[in-house]
Amino acid sequence: MKNQYYDKLETRRPAARERAQFADLIVLLKQARKKASGWGERLAEVKPASIVSRELLATLPVLRKSELPALQAANPPFGGLATRPCGEYGRVLMSPGPIFEPEGKGDDYWRTARAFHAAGFRKGDVVHNSFAYHLSPGAFVMEGGARAIGCAVVPAGIGNTEMQVEAIAHYRPSGFTGTPDYLKTLLDAGAQMGKDLASLKRALVSGGALFPALRQGYADRGINCLQCYCIAEVGLIAYESEAAEGMVVDEGIILEIVRPGTGDPVSDGEVGEVVVTSLNPDYPMIRLATGDLSAVMTGASPCGRTNKRIKGWLGRADQATKVKALFVRPEMVAEIARRHPELKRLRLVVKREGAQDAMTLRAEGTLQTGLAERVSETLQGVTKLKGVVEIVPPGSLPNDGKVIEDERSYA
């Protein structure tokens, strides 16, 4: 296939990749310790020149994504982890948490062009981008990659479904990028409105699980839908290729799978927490524990790319979970409880209803007129997501310490 690979890095020998990445890592460690006070403190006892293998990388401390809000609050804006002053970045952004992220200048800062290429996007394509453009980085992460390979981008953002349908019908884009669920919302709305959206032939989705039934539904409509795994702190981590057998790790990332709650790598095939080291001198992330579960797949990908593969997203290593591309954390449930002292134990249950994520907050309390409605408003205000509230009798929820329960199946 002509132009099957984005560049020669994708097919280099694994040993050559390891040598090059660890040479870059030594430089990165030196710069991070010198230019970023937070890394200087965390890596004070580390000798950068000695970190020449995965075994030695595993001796460095893990930085948990859940630590970032506190670090940034204590040392704004970026917790001492950025190597540049805030004003030298191209954009400064904010994700739920809150977590604050910088975007550097230059093309394809988040390195998603590789994922778009693997998903079949090419120069001259028009891409409808339904990630959020307001404060959060999602839209810019994906737009940068699409534009880097020569695509035009429709900056649709989130919401305004009918207007988005009108834009698709008018511009006739061949590609879509957004969350896995929202493409179905657009297609269904287009059918109801009598609009022709048949120009869409390919999609690159992220921000949530692409369930098998949803992928097949898109295929039945003539859309080849692949997914990529990105987070705001490092950009692209892994992506699907045409082989659709696992996700290939990006060339700008050193990925480890560790036993949850530790920094200890596990064997290939064993499920554990994804830990990533991003070789980005502007905003280095060294052994960032993402909270996501996955496993390294054995063997080489049939597509010919030689980097490691992971099985994709297999859930969360902690109780935080992702709903419609936004993280919901135990701290948020605690905030709802704080605002409603009349409630006792709370449990947020996440499940699938049809082809959509859905939340139900079960709260112990005495049934009062309007209580469920008031708590529902608080739930939406804290999480930025709508959900159902059920008031249940005191003592009816399990006393197991769990405040978020994810009932979705990722088989």
What pLDDT is recorded for position 411? 59
Dig out the tokens for 283 from the structure.
């905003």
For 43, 252, 299, 311, 313, the CA distances from 258, given in Å and listed in that order, are: 20, 19, 19, 14, 14
C-alpha to C-alpha distance for 187 and 221, rounded to whole angstroms: 9
Cis check for the bond before 76: say yes or no (omega within 30 of 0): no
Which stretches in the chain have pLDDT values below 50? none
Please report, as a single letter, which amino acid is at residue 159: G
pLDDT tens by residue, 16-36: 999 999 999 999 999 999 999
- Residue 398 sits at φ, ψ, to 5 deg, of -60, 145
* Consecutive H or E run containing 300: none
Predicted TM-score (pTM) of the model is 0.80
| Alpha helices in 194-265, H assignment, sequence order | 212-220
Contacts of 211 (CB under 8 A, 6+ apart): 180, 352, 355, 410
Do residues 397 and 345 touch, judged by C-beta distance below 8 A? yes
Contacts of 61 (CB under 8 A, 6+ apart): 42, 43, 263, 287
Do residues 152 and 127 touch, judged by C-beta distance below 8 A? yes
CA R_g for the chain: 22
Residue closest to 149 by CA, chosen among 201, 106, 108: 108
* SS3 call for 383: helix
Q: Is 350 left (phi over 0), alpha (psi -120 to 50) or beta?
A: beta
Do residues 379 and 336 touch, judged by C-beta distance below 8 A? yes
C-alpha to C-alpha distance for 374 and 387, rounded to whole angstroms: 12
- Residue 115 sits at φ, ψ, to 5 deg, of -70, -40
What pLDDT is recorded for position 177? 98
Dig out the tokens for 140 from the structure.
């810019």
What pLDDT is recorded for position 401? 65
* Consecutive H or E run containing 278: strand 272-278
C-alpha to C-alpha distance for 308 and 246, rounded to whole angstroms: 10
Query: How many C-alpha atoms does 122 have within 13 Å on its Cβ side?
Result: 6
pLDDT tens by residue, 248-264: 999 999 999 998 778 88
Do residues 259 and 272 touch, judged by C-beta distance below 8 A? yes
